[in-house]
Amino acid sequence: MTLIAEHDPDLGVGWPPDPEGWGEPPWADELGPLPVDEVDEVLEWTSLMNSFVAQRLAAVDTFRRRAYADAERYGGGSRELIDRSVRLELAAALRVTEHAAGDLLGFAAAMVHRYPAAWRSLSRSGITERHARILVEQLDAAGPEISARVGERALVLAEQQPVGVFRRKLRALVDTEQAATLAQRQAVAVRERRVEIEPGRDGMGWLHLHAPLVELHAVHARLTAQAKAIARAPGETRTLDEIRADAACDLLIDGDTTLLPADARGIRATVAVTVPALTLLADAAGAGAGAGAGAGAGAGDGAGAVPPVVDGIGPISVEQARVLCGGADGWMRVLTHPETGAVLSVGRESYKPPASLRRLVRWRAGRCMAPGCSVPADRCEIDHTVAWEHGGHTSLDNHSPLCKGHHTVKHHGGWHVDQIAGSGGALRWRSPSGRIYVVRPERTLPTFHPDPPPPSAPAPDRAPPPRPTLDREPPPF
Ligand SMILES: [Zn+2]
């Protein structure tokens, strides 16, 4: 703590940038600018490298276009033949495989012609080559229509987020844009479901089950939970993979789990389904009161209504969400406000957070809350941000998941970490060199309050129930 105070930065030098402005710490004025240090030197070289990468891509693309132009002028062969020749020359000159050369040519053409704004950003080091690769891959896969709609937002994300977070957020952005047609596409795709055997080597083989991804995650989660219970038995030496495979065979062949140890029986998977409450409400209003109410509710939510999402899978249709949230056990239902009665804090009563609080903390963060880390929250440890022995509470405001490595770094690596008050779980990491990195959780927990009754209410027998409005703190990102 004292070590860091000597090196305090001008907020905003830190990366990623802080678009919502948490404000400067009170001590920022007293200390002046951060002295130039080794990290600055690394940043400078990195910035030059990004710029060189952009120039290199432009040169590669110019080389390809020149070959086309020459071929046209001198009556050369087909496009395919020219491509082949260009690839061969580039591969020979760079001493890489033709496959790698082809990949470079494709990437260069995409950046220069399809995503010129991304190319400009790379050339002034607004993004890195990794960001550019992910942007091209995901937007190309989404098709020209979607990529035209989300391109600008994708670039803003790329310029703000570390690679892992950027990849997930771009995926979610594309999914949300595609969600409009999700139900139809799913209805077609589900008819492809089947089970197949693929022979392997040494008397082994694969059993492929092609089925809706939500169900498959539930299957895998149940097998994993059972395997973990079995692995705890004394004398058990099989790996988790082995036990999972054995449990799957036992279940499919015998159809029961009586041979399993007692604590592995009756395990059901829990899959978190996140359903934006307003989506379900709007849908119900549309079904109950006719198209007018539905359209009105949709318009109120803005253009792209947020689709329901299953943890680790992506969006699902509202119909499917309704089924999952309606009955079956084993689905952890998370409307995007805390479940009524959820334990948000036990103060100083208990050091160990209760299971429901641990689940909520993990769900909110999604990942390890260290800068750029992608370890899923369910493989993380739950950390008291302000340590228990320093008076920290056992509460949602004082817990974050951290993977083992980052948990150790937080406590012994000279970093200072605090949770930003009122931010809904954002952590501010101050590095030993004094840089600030703000890490936000994947999800926010909005609060709800009912609307005041409308000034001119419709006929009393058809009056709609008061519609809650969303009151997010901080504003959604
Ligand atoms: Zn981590």
The letter for the amino acid at 256 is: D
Average pLDDT (230-255) is 88
Coil/strand/helix, residue 207: strand
Where residue 403 falls among pLDDT bands split at 50, 70, 90? Answer: very high
C-alpha 409 to ligand 1 mean position (Å): 9
Q: Kindly give the distance from the C-alpha atom of residue 380 to the centroid of ligand 1, in angstroms, as a whole number.
A: 8
The predicted pLDDT at position 37 comes to 83
Answer whether residue 279 shows pLDDT above 70. no
CA of 418 to the centre of ligand 1 (A): 16
Decide if 378 contacts 368 (C-beta within 8 A).
no
pLDDT for the residue numbered 3: 33
Q: How confident is the model at residue 185 (pLDDT cuts 50, 70, 90)?
A: confident
Q: What confidence tier does 354 reach under pLDDT thresholds 50, 70, 90?
A: confident
pLDDT attached to residue 221: 84
- Cα 393 to averaged position of ligand 1 atoms, centre (Å): 22
Of 55-64, 91-100, 257-266, least confident by mean pLDDT is: 257-266
* Cα of 141 from ligand 1 centre, angstroms: 29
Q: Across residues 193-211, what is the average pLDDT? A: 90
Residue 81: pLDDT band with limits 50, 70, 90: confident
Contact 333, 275 (CB under 8 A): yes
For the cut 50, the answer to whether the pLDDT of residue 86 exceeds it is: yes
- Span from the CA of 118 to the centroid of ligand 1 (angstroms): 29
Q: Which of 256-265, 301-310, 320-329, 350-359 has the weakest average pLDDT?
A: 301-310
Q: pLDDT > 90: what percent of the chain?
A: 34
pLDDT digits 0-9 by tens, 412-444: 888 999 999 888 889 999 988 888 999 999 887
Query: What DSSP character marks residue 330?
Result: T
Residue 180 has pLDDT above 80, yes or no: no
Strand 271-275 to 309-310 pairing: antiparallel
- Residue 373 Cα to ligand 1 midpoint, Å, equals 5
Instruction: Report which DSSP code applies to 112.
Output: I
Cβ partners under 8 Å of residue 163, min gap 6: 128, 130, 131, 134, 372
Task: Please write the tens of the pLDDT for every residue from 8-41.
Answer: 333 333 344 444 444 444 444 455 566 678 899 9
Q: For residue 436, report the distance from its CA to the centre of ligand 1, in Å.
A: 17
Gyration radius from the chain CA atoms: 27
Structure tokens at 47: 């910035």
> Is 470 within 8 Å of 446 (Cβ atoms)?
yes
Give residue 385 CA to ligand 1 midpoint distance, Å. 14
Token output for 114: 């399809």
Distance from the CA of 370 to the center of ligand 1, in angstroms?
Answer: 5
Q: How many Cα atoms within 13 Å fall on the side-chain side of residue 249?
A: 8
Q: What is the mean pLDDT of residues 302-311?
A: 57
Question: Residue 441's CB: how many other CB atoms inside 10 A?
Answer: 22
CA–centroid distance, 271 to ligand 1, in Å, is 22
Ligand 1 geometric centre to CA of 33 (Å):
29
Q: CA–CA separation, 413 vs 140, rounded Å?
A: 41
Percent of the chain with pLDDT over 70: 66
Quote the CA–CA distance of 440 and 371 in Å, as a whole number.
Answer: 9
Q: What is the 371 CA–ligand 1 centroid distance (Å)?
A: 8
Mean pLDDT is highest, among 110-119, 264-273, 408-417, for: 110-119
User: Per-residue pLDDT for 223 more than 80?
Assistant: yes
**Token code pair at residue 409:** 């770094």
Q: What angle do CA 396, 399, 403 make, to 5 degrees?
A: 140
Kindly state the DSSP code that residue 370 receives in the 8-state scheme. Answer: S
Ligand 1 centroid to Cα of residue 404, in Å, is: 7
What's the CA-to-centroid distance between 126 and ligand 1, angstroms? Answer: 25
pLDDT higher for 196 or 328?
196
Which bin fits 125, alpha (ψ -120 to 50), beta or left (φ > 0)? Answer: left
Strand ranges for 186-256 from DSSP E:
194-199, 205-210
